[in-house]
Amino acid sequence: MCGIVGYVGEREASGVLVHGLQLLEYRGYDSAGLAVLANGDVSVRRSVGKLKNLENLLAVEPLPGKSGIGHTRWATHGRPSEANAHPHRAGRVVLIHNGIIENFLELRAELQASGREFSSETDTEIVAHLIDDEMARGRDLAAATRAAIARLEGSFALVVMSSDEPGKLFAAKSATPIVIGLGDGENFVASDVPALLDYTRDMLFLEDGEMAEISSAGVRLSLFDGTPVEREPRRITWDPVTAQKSGYKHFMLKEINEQPQATIDTMRGRLLVESGDVTLEDLESSNDWWNQVERIDLVACGTAWHACLVGKFFIEKLARVPCNVDYGSEFRYRDPILDGRGMLLAVSQSGETADTLAAVEAARAAKVRTAAICNVVDSSIARRSDAVLYTHAGPEISVASTKAFVTQLTALLLIAIHIGRRRGTLAADASGELIESLLHLPGPMRDALAMADEIDALARRYVNAENFLFVGRGLNYPIALEGALKLKELSYIHAEGYPAGELKHGPIALISETMPVVVLLPKNGAYAKTLSNMKEVESRGGQIIVVTDVDDPAVEEVANDVIRVPTVHSLLMPIILSIPLQLLSYFVAVHRGTDVDQPRNLAKSVTVE
Ligand code: G6P
What 3 state SS string does 320-386 have? CCCEEEEEHHHHCCCCCCCCCCEEEEEEECCCCCHHHHHHHHHHHHCCCEEEEEECCCCCHHHHHCC
CA-300 nearest atom, ligand 1 = 15
pLDDT at 1: 61
Range from 18-32, 41-55, 359-373, 469-483 carrying the lowest mean pLDDT: 18-32
Is the CB–ligand 1 distance for residue 602 below 6 Å? yes
Give the mean model confidence (pLDDT) for residues 151-162. 94
- CA dist 192 and 245 (Å) reads 10
Q: What is the whole-number distance in angstroms between the Cα of residue 595 and the centre of ligand 1? A: 17
Q: Rounded mean pLDDT of 548-554?
A: 93
| pLDDT attached to residue 403 | 97
Using pLDDT thresholds of 50, 70 and 90, give the confidence band for residue 394.
Answer: confident
Residues 224-232, mean pLDDT to the nearest whole number: 96
* Residue 346 in contact with ligand 1 by CB distance below 6 A: no
> pLDDT tens digits for 192-220?
888 999 999 999 999 999 999 999 999 99
Do 244-440 and 3-241 have the same topology in CATH?
no
pLDDT band at 78 (very low <50, low <70, confident <90, very high): confident
Cis peptide bond prior to 87, omega within 30° of 0:
yes
> Cα–Cα distance between 546 and 471 in angstroms, integer?
10
**Sheet with strand 342-348: strands edge to edge:** 323-327, 295-300, 342-348, 369-374, 387-390
Model confidence at 286, pLDDT cuts 50, 70, 90, reads low
Round to whole Å and give the CA distance between 2 and 122: 13
In short, whether 246's Cβ falls inside 6 Å of ligand 1 is no
CB 467 within 8 A of CB 498: no
In terms of Cα–Cα distance, which of 37, 41, 38, 47 is closest to 71? 47
Check residue 290 and give its pLDDT.
82
Q: Give the chain's count of helices (H) and strands (E).
A: 21, 27
Distance 347 CA to ligand 1 centre (A): 10
Q: Which residue has the higher pLDDT, 401 or 504?
A: 401
Whether residue 282 is predicted with pLDDT greater than 80 in this model: the reply is no
For residue 28, pLDDT over 70 is answered with no
pLDDT over 70 at 285, yes or no: no
Residue 604 appears among annotated catalytic residues = yes
Q: Where are the domains of the chain?
A: 3-241, 244-440, 452-592
Instruction: Among 3.90.1580.10, 3.30.2320.80, 3.40.50.460, 3.40.50.10490, name the CATH number for the domain at 452-592.
Output: 3.40.50.10490
Q: Confidence class of residue 532 from pLDDT cuts 50, 70 and 90?
A: confident
Pocket test for ligand 1, best of 251, 299, 301, 329 (most atoms within 8 A of CB): 301
Whether the CB of 381 sits within 6 Å of ligand 1: no
The CATH superfamily assigned to 3-241 is: Aminohydrolase, N-terminal nucleophile (Ntn) domain (3.60.20.10)
Are the C-beta atoms of 122 and 163 separated by less than 8 Å? no
- pLDDT at position 347 is 98
Q: In this model, does residue 281 exceed pLDDT 80?
A: no
Q: Does any ligand 1 atom lie closer than 6 A to the CB of residue 520?
A: no
Residue located nearest, by CA, to atom 2 of ligand 1:
604
C-alpha of residue 405 to centroid of ligand 1, in Å: 10
pLDDT digits (tens, 9 = 90+) for 98-126: 988 889 889 999 999 999 999 998 889 99
Res. 24 pLDDT band, cuts 50 70 90: confident
Question: Which CA distances in Å does 592 have to 459, 505, 510, 578?
Answer: 10, 32, 23, 21
Alpha-carbon gap, residue 123 to 387, rounded angstroms: 20
pLDDT of residue 291: 85
Predicted pLDDT at 279: 86
What is the band of 287 on the pLDDT scale with cuts at 50, 70, 90?
low
- Of 121, 106, 119, residue with least CA distance to 75: 121
pLDDT band at 280 (very low <50, low <70, confident <90, very high): confident
353 lines ligand 1 (CB under 6 A): yes
Distance 489 CA to ligand 1 centre (A): 11
Does residue 61 carry a pLDDT above 90? yes
- Report whether pLDDT(55) > 90: yes
Distance (angstroms) between ligand 1 centre and the Cα of 398 equals 11
Is the minimum distance from the CB of 399 to ligand 1 under 6 angstroms? yes
Which residue's CA is minimally distant from atom 4 of ligand 1? 302
2 in active site: yes
Q: Residues 537-556: what's their mean pLDDT?
A: 92
Q: Which of 239-248, 261-270, 413-422 has the lowest mean pLDDT?
A: 239-248
Which residues are within 8 A (CB) of 458 and not within 5 positions of it... i.e. 6 or more apart? 545, 561, 563, 584, 587
Closest-lying ligand 1 atom to the alpha carbon of residue 401: 9
Give the Cα separation of 444 and 567 in Å (integer).
8
pLDDT of the residue at 211: 98
Q: Give per-residue pLDDT as tens, 396-405.
A: 889 999 999 9
Q: How much is the pLDDT for 535?
A: 87
Question: Using 50, 70 and 90 to split pLDDT, how confident is the model at 489?
Answer: very high
Mean pLDDT of the chain: 93
Which of 538, 542, 541, 529 shows the shortest CA–CA distance to 557? Answer: 538
pLDDT, one tens digit per residue, over 239-250 is: 777 778 888 999
Q: How confident is the model at residue 304 (pLDDT cuts 50, 70, 90)?
A: very high
Q: What is the mean pLDDT of residues 226-230?
A: 96
In CATH, the architecture of 244-440 is: 3-Layer(aba) Sandwich (3.40)
